[in-house]
Amino acid sequence: MLKKFGSIVAAGVVLSLLGATAAHADVLSNIKKKGVLVVGTKADYRPFGYLDPSGKIVGLEADLAADVAKRLGVKLELVPVVASNRIQFLQQGKIDLMIATTSDTPDRRKVVDFVDPNYYGSGLNVLAPKSARIAGWDQLKGKKVCLIQGAFYNKELQEKYGVEGVAFPGTAEVYTALRNGNCLAFAYDDTAIVGEMLKPEWSAYEMPLDSILFVPWGIAVKQGEKDLVEFMAKTTIDWHKTGFIRQLEKKWGIKPTKFAQDMNTKYK
């Protein structure tokens, strides 16, 4: 009797596992089945993802998302995300894919799967008056440079490049100080500077240097979604191979990056 009961329990467990497996369809299959790709992207990070006058999310990363949907033959739905919720949205299944200026770090790889190769990245550069004629990082030695308090690169800028750092709590204070001439330049994330320079008030300023301290950006998916990761890896390689990302840089007024150039050369 106990043997029979044990067999029944074992059979039940097997059927339960089979049922769970059958009930779980991978994300890529679900996207194709429902005919919609849901991508988390920024809506406050010009020109990578921001709202146009009609309230639509546009930008370089929105264009990448649109290309993925086109390749899959499905409609695209963009969901605005911010740094504090983008990974949670992915884990909770609120989005299928994340293309949202996300730095690819070892800690983040513990909670989501990143697509290899990386599609883009950011580095450190400066916003400075064109009249300053800054052509190299060495020209900043001994000069006052605005910084954001607590930024990871502050120490290296001061020790390696010899800048005289003037730290502020936020960008609003920095921009005021820069306009008032309290600093020669503002050292900050190059992609953020690109977005700021699209505003008319910065027409007399430039981002003149080659970026340093590069951090790669990765497309992320929920852990375990092997098919989607493989599809996105092939897609990203094709973006680099065809120069699609370099074309988007030109479209959105972004200074050509060494990363995009190098990846185009690598996969061409």
Q: Where residue 185 sits, what CATH number does that domain have?
A: 3.40.190.10
Number of domains, the chain: 2
- What confidence tens digit (pLDDT) does each residue in 118-131 have? 999 999 999 999 99
Neighbours of 218 (CB within 10 A): 25
Question: What is the pLDDT, as a whole number, of residue 198?
Answer: 86
Question: What is the pLDDT, as a whole number, of residue 172?
Answer: 86
Tell whether 141 and 198 lie within a shared domain. yes
Examine the fold and report which residue of 213, 235, 250 is the final residue of a domain before the chain moves on: 213
Q: What are phi and psi of 167, to 5 degrees?
A: -90, 140
Question: What is the pLDDT, as a whole number, of residue 171?
Answer: 85
Which of 124, 128, 127, 180 has the alpha carbon at shortest distance from 151?
124
Q: Which residues span the domain enclosing 186?
A: 123-213
Crossing angle for the helix pair 27-34 and 226-242, to the nearest 10 degrees: 80
Ranges of the chain whose pLDDT falls below 50: 2, 4-5, 8-11, 13-24
